[in-house]
Structure 1
């Protein structure tokens, strides 16, 4: 599977999170043109195939051991950032279209980013947000890099189950474990960003700082964006369980107006220092979404 064929619907059939993450990230490594500075927390460097005349010393032998491919890395500098992955596990992450749930899409996306971090020896940790609290799945620490950290994150992702709500009464009550380091850190959120008030917005703003950068992947379905439904449907709130039956065509205009207004305002509100928003649909190829992230980081 190459390029645009790396759809979540195809990858899910493999039933192997490690393989899917590896496929997406390796495709990306050979295709993206980025800064020579390393680390997904900064910008991902470019890899290319070894060619006659290249100095063999420039081959990334660690990557060769994992991929059996002779790849030249444009810079030998390794990342020293702490990358914290944060997965929304509220009930709305169970929303699905064409056999792909938001949670499954998020799992593959994070597995792909974790593989990139593994290749570059990033320090990585994993957290989930559910029922008003932060749960540590893989803790940060001096030994949180390399293959061991990657494997722990995969195991943690495979065990995740979405349900209920996540937002607290006060976002100040949400605390991530402190990790003493002189290095800057990056939080990568994967969520639908659906909120009752402005709990997501306030939470993200409270975290962003010169030493802490925030990247938010907002995953939405095509129907959530386009609402091309006809006839009567029973709509269910996946977090509260409330149901309502409506004629889809009669509410489409109002839905599109409200949805468009919300997404536009959210995008504007998150145009703040040290915050990057990447919006994606469940039908978007994973590689395309990650390339959007890395290109935006470079810019």
Structure 2
């Protein structure tokens, strides 16, 4: 069922400005978490709290006051030296669209929001794309002192991102993110694999010094399959087409999807890996808030 609270991706897309949408989602998220401690998914960000007597008025976020009519200040924080790597699936299935929102558009807003959190925390961050089984560096790692520049480069990369073709494992074997300190990999994908190519790669990457978060983005119709009548279905990666009566295939499809998602969840219950499953109809801040709250608990 579609959520009605928070900013929906369909509304954010109309702004046609990833920097603004990322900032709006992040502020909505920070206002929704009522804790004076920093929340960590690796991306540690400053929390907002209400102004109290004795606080320096200069710490008030006046731009936020103009929007909320509330005197809010940021909690102080220390710089993070952790490397955050965003990894975006750019295979053809990311073009899947529901209610005017493609999976790729949703993914880009989600990543822009996370990148904004990194920016205000002065985190090191970089962006990679997965296309045709290969890892492409879209925006390389930047130092904490150039968080703003890294943020802007990631936004440019997201704005130019396009999805096409099948996902294959050719060329990815042996690829390694090189680092000498703790880091976090944040994958954004539909995670609809033909075999176990995604699982195998993630298992090889996870470890004590590398935490992995997987955001799996799915459409309501992909999971519920509530279609009726004859449809021509087209595979967004292979371009193969199939005509069938959707209602007659619904029961088997839903059972297969439930089984796949359950098996995937079980397979990813390994150390240092976290699965976040989100529907494209959910407000992005709500998805991030639920995850952060669960991590804190």
| Alignment TM-score, normalising by the size of structure 1 | 0.90
**Which position in structure 1 is the counterpart of 2:294?**
296
| Correspondent of 1:245 among 243, 256, 262 | 243
Count, aligned residues? 290
Quick one: structure 1 residues 113 and 10, their matched pair in 2 at CA, closer, same or farther if it must change by over 3 Å? same
Counterpart Cα distance in 2 of 1:34 and 1:159? 36
Counterpart Cα distance in 1 of 2:186 and 2:96? 21
3-state SS of 1:128 partner: strand
Residue 152 of structure 2 corresponds to residue 154 of structure 1: no
Counterpart Cα distance in 2 of 1:292 and 1:76? 22
**Which position in structure 2 is the counterpart of 1:115?**
116
> How much has 1:68 moved relative to structure 2?
7.1
**Which position in structure 2 is the counterpart of 1:73?**
74
- Within 5 Å, give how 1:108-147 maps onto structure 2: 108-142=109-143, 145-147=146-148
> How much has 1:48 moved relative to structure 2?
1.3
Give structure 1 regions of 4+ aligned residues with deviation exceeding 6 angstroms: none
- Within 5 Å, give how 1:246-261 maps onto structure 2: 246-261=244-259
Query: Could you tell me whether the CA contact under 8 Å between 1:34 and 1:298 is conserved in 2?
Result: no
| Alignment TM-score, normalising by the size of structure 2 | 0.90
Quick one: structure 1 residues 251 and 38, their matched pair in 2 at CA, closer, same or farther if it must change by over 3 Å? closer
**Which position in structure 2 is the counterpart of 1:12?**
13
**Which position in structure 2 is the counterpart of 1:55?**
55
> How much has 1:296 moved relative to structure 2?
2.8
Query: Could you tell me whether the CA contact under 8 Å between 1:91 and 1:162 is conserved in 2?
Result: yes
Counterpart Cα distance in 2 of 1:151 and 1:144? 14
Stretch deviating more after TM superposition (216-225 or 78-87):
78-87
Quick one: structure 1 residues 65 and 158, their matched pair in 2 at CA, closer, same or farther if it must change by over 3 Å? farther
- Within 5 Å, give how 1:1-299 maps onto structure 2: 4-34=5-35, 36-37=37-38, 40-41=41-42, 43-51=44-52, 53-56=53-56, 60=59, 64=61, 71-142=72-143, 145-169=146-170, 171-176=172-177, 178-179=178-179, 181-182=180-181, 184-299=182-297
Counterpart Cα distance in 1 of 2:176 and 2:63? 36
> How much has 1:36 moved relative to structure 2?
1.9
> How much has 1:298 moved relative to structure 2?
1.8
Quick one: structure 1 residues 150 and 43, their matched pair in 2 at CA, closer, same or farther if it must change by over 3 Å? closer
> How much has 1:31 moved relative to structure 2?
1.4
> How much has 1:33 moved relative to structure 2?
3.2
Counterpart Cα distance in 2 of 1:261 and 1:144? 46
Counterpart Cα distance in 1 of 2:275 and 2:36? 20
Counterpart Cα distance in 2 of 1:101 and 1:164? 16
> How much has 1:144 moved relative to structure 2?
7.0
Stretch deviating more after TM superposition (138-147 or 186-195):
138-147
Counterpart Cα distance in 1 of 2:252 and 2:41? 40
3-state SS of 1:262 partner: helix
Query: Could you tell me whether the CA contact under 8 Å between 1:42 and 1:297 is conserved in 2?
Result: no
The unaligned stretches of length 5 or more in structure 1 are none
Query: Could you tell me whether the CA contact under 8 Å between 1:90 and 1:239 is conserved in 2?
Result: yes
3-state SS of 1:235 partner: strand
Counterpart Cα distance in 2 of 1:66 and 1:297? 29
Deviations 1:9-46 (A, max 9, x none): 11111111111101000111111135724655165453
Counterpart Cα distance in 2 of 1:35 and 1:56? 17
